Amino acid sequence: MKNSIIRVLVAKPGLDGHDRGAKVVARALRDAGMEVIYTGLRQTPEQIVETAIQEDVNVIGLSILSGAHMHLFPKLMKLLKEREAIDIIVMAGGIIPGEDIVELKKIGIKEIFTPGTDTNRIIEFIKENVKVVR
Amino acid sequence: MKLSDRIRQGDTRAAAKLITMVENDFQQAQKYLKELQEYCGQATVIGITGPPGSGKSTITDRLAKHIRKIGKKIAIIAIDPSSPFTGGAILGDRIRMQDLSTDKDVFIRSIGTRGQLGGLSRSTQAVVKIMDAMGKEIIFIETVGVGQSEIEVIKVSDIILLLLMPGMGDDIQIIKAGIMEIGDIFVVNKSDREGTDRLIVEIEMMLSLNDVRKRNPAIIKTIGTENIGIEELWQEVERLNVYLQDKGEMQLRRKNRIRKEIHDLFLENWQELFFQFIGEDNIENEVQKILKQDIDPYSAVQKLTEVFKKQIIKGG
Ligand SMILES: Nc1nc2c(ncn2[C@@H]2O[C@H](COP(=O)(O)OP(=O)(O)O)[C@@H](O)[C@H]2O)c(=O)[nH]1
Ligand SMILES: [Mg+2]
């Protein structure tokens, strides 16, 4: 009896104060049949990576509005590499300018969703990229 | 290195991967669980249950921090309900445990109930073993205290804390059936709130009426958010642990758990065997007959069972 379910960590790094966007995404993923680990506000890259490993998630979804992405995301990717966990897919959403998107994709962030993205696109992206054994 | 060896050395990633296998494909996971079995049985398992919002995650976090000061290694299994419609879930208990996530001697795993009949207690028991084999000394299981399956799950624990809070309306009504009996220690959390004393009186009354246990459960007041009552609560857990060991009750609980585990595993194996043998076509056939009033469901299942039984006796 096999019963594979995609697991996603929805995390909010940085100091910005609300998580409406992250919660909308979390609910949409749940409704698409995924297990969403939700950790709340103000997560450090260390906390996010450690949580992702303990929870053995397929995907990390980062939500950020504060503008600190060029500082926090490379740090997170470096930690993931150190922990030999680069098989975890990292995606991000939030206010991120075009030139930064190019840079972030170079360091291994697989996809970046700008504000107002249809949640169905995020769901499709995850389903296309996660290879779940059935 | 073998997966089981890595787990025994406390490798978080290896343990996390095996837990996923337990959830997704239990048959395959058994292979590794077998290798771990002889390294299990060291940990003390504490169940924390109670209504939603009573402060289970907060108290778990506080207890964990308190125990970390003594230097013991900890694991936490945080169970939340999955949607019965989509199978998805939002697992949010870690929100209250944020600073524990970077302590390398604390391992937290969130689990959705996934609507498995009887399967949840079986997989929870397996997760406990994995954490035990990792060298975790205290393992917490947090689960919402409503419904039969949650009660089954929490019975995987050595000691059960039942959390209540004032202001649940008709307080005890919510949890009267079945769940009062499983609490080894009653925790009145949110005791900063109005109605605390009344709730305690109600619990005392309830216990004096219904309880046939030799030892009356302690009632401990806490304020999780302010870290009040946590030390007292942990002292009571330790005291009870010693008491249960002395009385031989702990041994009895462990024995019952093994019995239940065997029962669960058996049931799963036989179930699979049965449905494989009978086949979907035969079941569909009977369904059609029942629809046409040709047969009743009781006789239909009896008939299929007889066929199965004969096959077994023949040794097929
Ligand atoms: N006033 C008060 N609030 C508390 C106390 N303990 C927890 N809370 C709050 O109650 C809410 C639910 O707590 P949580 O631990 O998530 O409950 P759970 O659903 O049982 O796990 C949170 O907002 C906590 O901050 C307490 O002792 N007093
Ligand atoms: Mg909780």
B55 lines ligand 1 (CB under 6 A): yes
- The pLDDT confidence band at residue B171, using thresholds 50, 70 and 90, is low
Q: Region A34-58: what's the mean pLDDT?
A: 94
Mutate to test the pocket of ligand 1, among B111, B146, B225, B230 (most ligand atoms within 8 A of CB): B225
Residue A13: its pLDDT value, please? 87
Q: Region B191-218: what's the mean pLDDT?
A: 82
Query: Mean pLDDT for chain A?
Result: 90
CA of B57 to the centre of ligand 2 (A): 4
Residues with CB under 5 A from ligand 2 (ion): B 56-57, 93
CA of B126 to the centre of ligand 1 (A): 29
How far, rounded to the nearest angstrom, does the alpha carbon of residue A48 sit from its chain's CA centroid?
A: 10
Give the ligand 1 atom nearest the CA of B163: 20
Residue B207: its pLDDT value, please? 80
CA of B225 to the centre of ligand 2 (A): 13
Between A1 and B300, where is the model more confident? B300
pLDDT at B27 over 50: yes
pLDDT at B149 over 80: no
Best mutation target among B6, B11, B24, B269 (most A Cβ atoms within 10 Å) is: B24
pLDDT at B6 over 90: yes
pLDDT at B172 over 60: no
Q: Region B85-109: what's the mean pLDDT?
A: 94
Residue B77: its pLDDT value, please? 97
d(CA A31, CA A58): 17
- The pLDDT confidence band at residue A134, using thresholds 50, 70 and 90, is very low
The residue whose CA is least distant from atom 2 of ligand 1 is: B190
Q: Does B110 touch chain A (CB under 8 A)?
A: yes
Domain A7-128, what fold?
A: Rossmann fold (3.40.50)
B57 lines ligand 1 (CB under 6 A): yes
Give, for A53, the enclosing helix (H) or strand (E).
helix A45-54
Please report the sign of the dihedral spanned by the C-alpha atoms of residue B240, residue B242, residue B245, residue B248: negative
Residue B169: its pLDDT value, please? 64
pLDDT at B178 over 70: no
Q: Report the share of chain B in percent with pLDDT over 90.
A: 66
pLDDT at A67 over 90: no
Give the least confident one: A94-108, A113-127, B156-170, B230-244: B156-170
Q: Report the share of chain B in percent with pLDDT over 70.
A: 92
pLDDT at B152 over 60: yes
The residue whose CA is least distant from atom 1 of ligand 1 is: B190
* Residue B316, both tokens: 């097929």
Give B51-96 pLDDT, tens digit per residue.
889 999 999 999 999 999 999 999 999 999 999 889 999 999 999 9
pLDDT at A133 over 60: no
Q: Does B95 touch chain A (CB under 8 A)?
A: yes
Q: Which residues pair with A54 in a beta bridge?
A: none
Residue B208: its pLDDT value, please? 80
Is B87 within 8 Å of A5 when comparing Cβ atoms? yes
Residue of A nearest to B20 (CA): A56
CA of B53 to the centre of ligand 2 (A): 7
B56 lines ligand 1 (CB under 6 A): yes
Chain A hits for B13, CB-CB cut-off 8 Å, are 53, 56, 83-85
Residue of B nearest to A38 (CA): B92
Chain A residues interacting with chain B (CB cutoff of 8 angstroms): 1-5, 7, 26-27, 29-40, 42-44, 46-47, 50-51, 53-56, 83-85, 133
- The pLDDT confidence band at residue B146, using thresholds 50, 70 and 90, is low
Query: Mean pLDDT for chain B?
Result: 90
How many residues can be counted in chain B? 316
Residue A21: its pLDDT value, please? 83
CA of B60 to the centre of ligand 2 (A): 9
Residue A95: its pLDDT value, please? 86
pLDDT at B246 over 60: yes
Give the least confident one: A64-68, B94-98, B116-120: B116-120
- Judge contact between A72 and A104, C-beta under 8 A: no
Between B97 and B174, where is the model more confident? B97
Give the ligand 1 atom nearest the CA of B142: 21
CATH of domain B3-247: 3.40.50.300
d(CA B256, CA B238): 22
- The pLDDT confidence band at residue B214, using thresholds 50, 70 and 90, is low
Residue B231: its pLDDT value, please? 97
Is B17 within 8 Å of A35 when comparing Cβ atoms? no
Chain B hits for A12, CB-CB cut-off 8 Å, are none
d(CA A104, CA B274): 53
- The pLDDT confidence band at residue B271, using thresholds 50, 70 and 90, is confident
Residue of A nearest to B116 (CA): A3
The residue whose CA is least distant from atom 6 of ligand 1 is: B224
Task: Kindly report the nearest CA distance between residue B112 and chain A, in angstroms.
Answer: 7
pLDDT at B118 over 70: no
Residue B150: its pLDDT value, please? 72
- The pLDDT confidence band at residue B210, using thresholds 50, 70 and 90, is low
pLDDT at B191 over 50: yes
Task: Kindly report the nearest CA distance between residue B21 and chain A, in angstroms.
Answer: 9
d(CA B232, CA A33): 41
d(CA A104, CA A109): 6
Task: Kindly report the nearest CA distance between residue A96 and chain B, in angstroms.
Answer: 26
- The pLDDT confidence band at residue B302, using thresholds 50, 70 and 90, is very high
Residue of B nearest to A83 (CA): B13
The residue ranges of every structural domain in chain A are 7-128
Give, for A21, the enclosing helix (H) or strand (E).
helix A20-31
